[in-house]
Amino acid sequence: MRAEEPFKNNLLQMKQTTFILLLFCVIGLLSCRKDKIEPTIKQYDQQQILNYIKVHGLTNMVRDTVGGDTTGIYYEILSPGNTAHRLQYPSLISLVYTLRTLDGVYTSIDTINNHFYDYLGHIATDNLPLGLQTALINDLKYSGGRMRVLIPSHLAYGVNGTGSGSSQVANNRITGNECLDYYINVVDSQPVYDDLVINNYMKNNSLTGYTKITTGTGAGTYYKVLTVPTGTDIIDSSKTITYTATGQLLNGIIFNNQNVSGVTNSGDVDNLYVGIQQAMYASQASVGTKISILLPSALGIGTTSSTGTDQNNNSVTIPANSCMRFTFIIDTVTP
């Protein structure tokens, strides 16, 4: 026997032993993975939603089973809506909503600010969850309906979430893998809805003595003369006025601050919002008039969102289909 042969035999034995040890390690790891199977994201979402339903006593929640019970959405119909107006992807809808994450860290419950006006099929491209679009088509079905819907994270903002900044700061951002709780109201008649909003606003803020314009182009506008005029030159569409004014949304956010001390604004009356014009005509406003005006959305901002400036010169968003409140003081009226 040559001298190197024992060395070769020892080396072979070491390799065999190492291979056997590695084989046992692999088998052990596979056995561990068998015992602990990680849930899929759909399973995780479902467990989060079912826990939420149980904790909050949401006994009327129903699972969406359209298309084979695959969405993981749960919902409750609060009002069935107008069966003559079936929601479809090309439907142009006016949507009002509130939102919170199931963990309660993020909430957005201001229905004055939470407006959507676009085609239903554009919901996801407008940074609202795809699951919201699915729930409207599958479950709510009709314009004028109201529903509460629990949306799983895989049909919401996925693993990345949405927003910016730290998730530890309330309402800063929605973190990844968060399921969402929405209340949804699909407005069937914007004038009817606006009138309800304005009346609720007056009731909640103890505003009395307003006159409603019920006919003509100003129908739906409310106004109240706070200070009677000192002049006799009544405002009409041919006049130019100087004035101070403040415009605000019905949640109190100021978007038009033309009430700066020592600064007077001027303009032709027919360049003002239609509802403001009609309130001034109906009240026979003139020099010295101070008037408060509540506008339905169609006679103000309309269906297109815009931006304004608050009392601190910060830019603010005026959502589409927003009702507004204006206070005007008329300084001069000229032909």
Write the CB contacts of 1 (distance below 8 Å, at least 6 apart in sequence): none
User: Is residue 322 domain-shared with residue 211, that is, in the same domain?
Assistant: yes
Contact 316, 309 (CB under 8 A): yes
What is the Cα–Cα distance from 258 to 306, expressed in whole angstroms?
Answer: 17
Phi-psi region of 186 (alpha: psi -120 to 50; beta: other; left: phi over 0): beta
Is residue 7's pLDDT more than 50? no
User: Is residue 235 domain-shared with residue 143, that is, in the same domain?
Assistant: no
Is residue 326's pLDDT more than 70? yes
User: Is residue 197 domain-shared with residue 325, that is, in the same domain?
Assistant: yes
Contact 316, 255 (CB under 8 A): yes
pLDDT for 1:
46
pLDDT for 33:
46
User: Is residue 126 domain-shared with residue 235, that is, in the same domain?
Assistant: no
User: Is residue 54 domain-shared with residue 86, that is, in the same domain?
Assistant: yes
pLDDT for 69:
80
Q: Give the other-Cβ count within 10 Å of 270's Cβ.
A: 12
Q: For all residues of the chain together, what is the average pLDDT?
A: 90
Residue 246's beta-bridge partner residues? 257, 327
pLDDT tens track for 64-122:
999 888 899 999 999 999 999 999 999 999 999 999 999 999 999 999 999 999 999 99
Least confident span in 201-210, 226-235, 254-263, 287-296 = 254-263
User: Is residue 173 domain-shared with residue 207, that is, in the same domain?
Assistant: no
User: Is residue 159 domain-shared with residue 238, that is, in the same domain?
Assistant: no
Residue 164 lies in a domain: yes
User: Is residue 219 domain-shared with residue 329, that is, in the same domain?
Assistant: yes
User: Is residue 227 domain-shared with residue 294, that is, in the same domain?
Assistant: yes
Residue 28 lies in a domain: no
Find the helix or strand (DSSP H, E) in which 213 lies. none
pLDDT tens track for 304-315:
999 999 988 899
pTM: 0.84
Q: Give the other-Cβ count within 10 Å of 123's Cβ.
A: 22
pLDDT band per the 50, 70, 90 thresholds, residue 302: very high
Is residue 260's pLDDT more than 50? yes
Residue 4 lies in a domain: no
Residue 136 lies in a domain: yes
Domain end residue (candidates: 165, 188, 211): 188
Residue 172 lies in a domain: yes
User: Is residue 48 domain-shared with residue 153, that is, in the same domain?
Assistant: yes
Residue 31 lies in a domain: no
Is residue 235's pLDDT more than 90? yes
Task: Provide the CATH number for the domain around residue 151.
Answer: 3.10.50.40
pLDDT tens track for 36-70:
567 899 999 999 999 999 999 999 999 999 988 88
pLDDT for 169:
56
Residue 50 lies in a domain: yes
Contact 175, 93 (CB under 8 A): no
Residue 13 lies in a domain: no
pLDDT for 38:
76
User: Is residue 173 domain-shared with residue 216, that is, in the same domain?
Assistant: no
Q: Look up the domain containing 272 and give its range.
A: 191-334
Q: Which residue, among 29, 154, 144, 139, has the nearest Cα to 95 in the 3D structure? A: 144
Q: Give the other-Cβ count within 10 Å of 18's Cβ.
A: 10
pLDDT for 47:
97
User: Is residue 291 domain-shared with residue 266, that is, in the same domain?
Assistant: yes
What is the Cα–Cα distance from 204 to 249, expressed in whole angstroms?
Answer: 14
Domain end residue (candidates: 188, 209, 239): 188
Residue spans of beta strands (DSSP E) within 33-188? 62-63, 74-79, 92-101, 107-108, 115-119, 146-151, 162-163, 173-174, 180-187
pLDDT for 20:
54
pLDDT for 2:
47
pLDDT for 15:
52
CA distance readout (Å), 192 to 91, 198, 220:
19, 10, 9
Q: What is the mean pLDDT of residues 290-311?
A: 96
pLDDT for 43:
94
Least confident span in 11-15, 89-93, 278-282 = 11-15
Q: How many domains does the chain have?
A: 2
Domain end residue (candidates: 168, 188, 208): 188
Query: Considering the chain, what percentage of its residues have pLDDT values greater than 70?
Result: 86
The token pair at 224 is: 């109240």
